[in-house]
Structure 1
Amino acid sequence: MPVTKQMWMSAAALVVAVIFFGVSGTDIWVQNHFYNPVNHQWILDREDPVLNFIFYDGIKRLIIIVNVLVLIALVVWWKKPFLARYRKGLIIVLLSSIFVPIIVGSFKATTNIPCPKNLEIYGGIYPHTCVWEKYPSTFCNQKKIKCWPAGHASGGFALLSLFYLFRKRRAKIIALSGVMVVGWSMGTYKMLIGDHFLSHTVITMIMAWLIISIIVALLSRLERRGVIAF
């Protein structure tokens, strides 16, 4: 599928996802399965050091290591013939690892949407609102809250760019499957400790693919115009 078509389809999917989760109540229905209203606790304990290391600190460090290795490969072996066929793909992976978290984080910093743990229905103080809604006039928003979309999973979903690193279909499928496991492991962990709704991770995943598609389209255009060469 042409990358331009992927961009438009991703943008359309993003709009549909935002509207669907905003009006359907799916987020609350799903999140209710992870919360015990009797003891006011989530399924997983956010203070559990093992789970925190595996699904938060550890997996984040692993992604950083992968990105550092990509950067080292580009710097050290840029002119090597064996890297030529992977050069463009590695640049796409590196740029995606930078811009996906930055853009997702920028949205997260400005949308002012609470996490599940912050909502009144889960023991917090914030009312539930859609991303396009304002808080009720009776609610005093003490500080800007940052929970939409999912920032933690953005680093994992940025690796969807590995799709453009490999040439063979089987390798692409394996790469995408592995990245989906990583991204959704990160997102699901945050759901199970009350930090994110399902929609937060879905939106981040779609945004990641849209951003990656834009990066690919821009690099391809610059390559066709002779501005850059791989």
Structure 2
Amino acid sequence: MAQTLRPRPLNLWLYLGIPLATVVALLLLEMTSLDMNVADLFFDQSAGQFIGRHSYVLENILHDRVKQGVILFGLLSIVGFAASFVFKRLYGWRRELGYLVLALGLSTAFVTPLKQLTQVQCPWSLTEFGGKETYSKLLDVRPATDKPGLCWPGGHAATGFCLFALFFVLRDRKPRAARAALVMAFAAGSLLSLGRMMQGAHFLSHNIWTAVFCWTIALSCYYLVLYRPAMAHTPARTGAGLAQSR
């Protein structure tokens, strides 16, 4: 008899502690000028624009094509989940595929409502960087404007960080692949975040907030859909073990 698949124990202090510490750091960041200082590094004073503002690679490849690729991946996940009800070979992955659809959907759906709620301006819209809008931090009262901002949290960063879900899909079945997926998701989100910062579309903190949201969503969905605490803390029963217990 094959060993029954069971979840690995989940240390919530670790999995939640890092994002909570990051949130505290981000709130403390509100009392500094770090966002503006980092944005300054990507602004060309002589040209009066951000160094990547009209970059073909940043706009057409890292923005448009990568976003389309992740959308395609999400659609394939939906197809795979639906197919698991038809094809027996996918039946054993049904819960993981359902989790993936849920986590990817929520990790991208939260962005637009929060943008509309917070109305934070993009760097490229600010007077400090050649625009017409007044700078305000996340917790500040928004200055009067005819065109509310739509820049918090970082939307494109979610294109990469939503892939945190792959870590949890593989966590209990293929731990080594799960760790590789985690590194890949973090690298993808960071690269896409950097690209948008170079274009003047987001501040550093906007993208870090997105990473925190995406991780928390992926973790929460995993805990609700895939994780089984009772099974995780029960010793595995193999065929040999079952034979000895009889």
* TM bin (shorter chain): 0.7 to 0.9
Alignment of 1:134-173 (within 5 A): 134-135=141-142, 139-166=143-170, 167-173=173-179
Which residue in the other structure is 1:213 paired with? Answer: 219
Number of corresponding residues: 220
- The corresponding residue for 2:89 is 82
Structure 2 residue 107 is matched with structure 1 residue 100 = yes
Q: Is the 1:156–1:182 contact (alpha carbons within 8 Å) kept by the matching residues of 2?
A: yes
Query: Cα distance 1:98–1:79, how it changes in 2: closer, same or farther (>3 A)?
Result: same
CA-CA distance at 1:38 after TM superposition: 2.0
Question: Which deviates the most, 29-38 or 87-96?
Answer: 87-96
Contact 1:70-1:94 within 8 A present in 2 as well: yes
CA, structure 1 residues 88+5, in 2 after alignment: closer, same or farther (shift >3 Å)? farther
Alpha-carbon separation, structure 2, partners of 1:109 and 1:140? 15
Runs of 4+ in 1 over 6 A off after TM superposition: 221-224
Secondary structure, aligned partner of 2:184:
helix
2:180 pairs with one of 156, 174, 179:
174
Match of 1:25 among 33, 49, 52: 33
Q: CA RMSD in A?
A: 2.4
Structure 1 residue corresponding to 2:68, chosen from 58, 61, 68: 61
Q: Are 2:200 and 1:194 aligned?
A: yes
Shift of 1:130: 1.7
User: For residue 228 of structure 1, what is the aligned residue in structure 2?
Assistant: none
Q: For residue 114 of structure 1, give the secondary structure of its aligned residue in structure 2.
A: coil
**TM-fit CA distance, 1:3:** 6.7
Q: CA deviation at 1:27?
A: 1.0
Distance 1:170 1:221, change over 3 A: closer
Gaps of 5+ in 1: 225-230
Q: Rg larger in 1 or in 2?
A: 2
Structure 2 counterpart of 1:41: 49
Percent identical residues: 26
Per-residue deviation at 1:66?
0.9
Give, in whole Å, the separation in 2 of the partners of 1:68 and 1:53.
21
Give deviations 1:3-42, integer Å, cap 9, x for gaps.
7546743662353143132112211111111001122121
TM-score (ref. length: structure 2) = 0.80
Residue-by-residue CA offset, 1:98-137 (whole Å, 9 max, x unaligned): 11111122111110111111122111222222211113xx
Cα separation, 2, equivalents of 1:146 and 1:27 = 17
Letter in 2 for 1:152: H
Counterpart CA distance in 1 for 2:114 and 2:80 is 31
> What displacement does 1:149 show?
0.7
Residues 62-99 of structure 1 show CA distances to partners (whole Å, capped at 9, x for unaligned) of 10111111111111233544324432222222111111
For residues 187 and 207 of structure 1, the distance between their equivalents in structure 2, rounded to whole angstroms, comes to: 14
Whether 2:6 is the aligned partner of 1:2: answer no
Say if 1:104 and 1:207, in contact at 8 Å, map to a contact too. Answer: no
Give the Cα separation in 2 of the matches to 1:221 and 1:174.
20
Give the equivalent residue in structure 2 for 1:114.
121
Map Cα deviations across residues 35-63 of structure 1 (whole Å, 9 max, x no partner). Answer: 011221211133x4443221111001110
Contact 1:4/1:217 (CA < 8 Å) preserved in 2? Answer: no
Question: Cα gap change, 1:68/1:202 in structure 2, threshold over 3 Å: closer, same or farther?
Answer: same
Residue identity opposite 2:148 in structure 1: K
Tell me the TM-score normalized by structure 1: 0.85
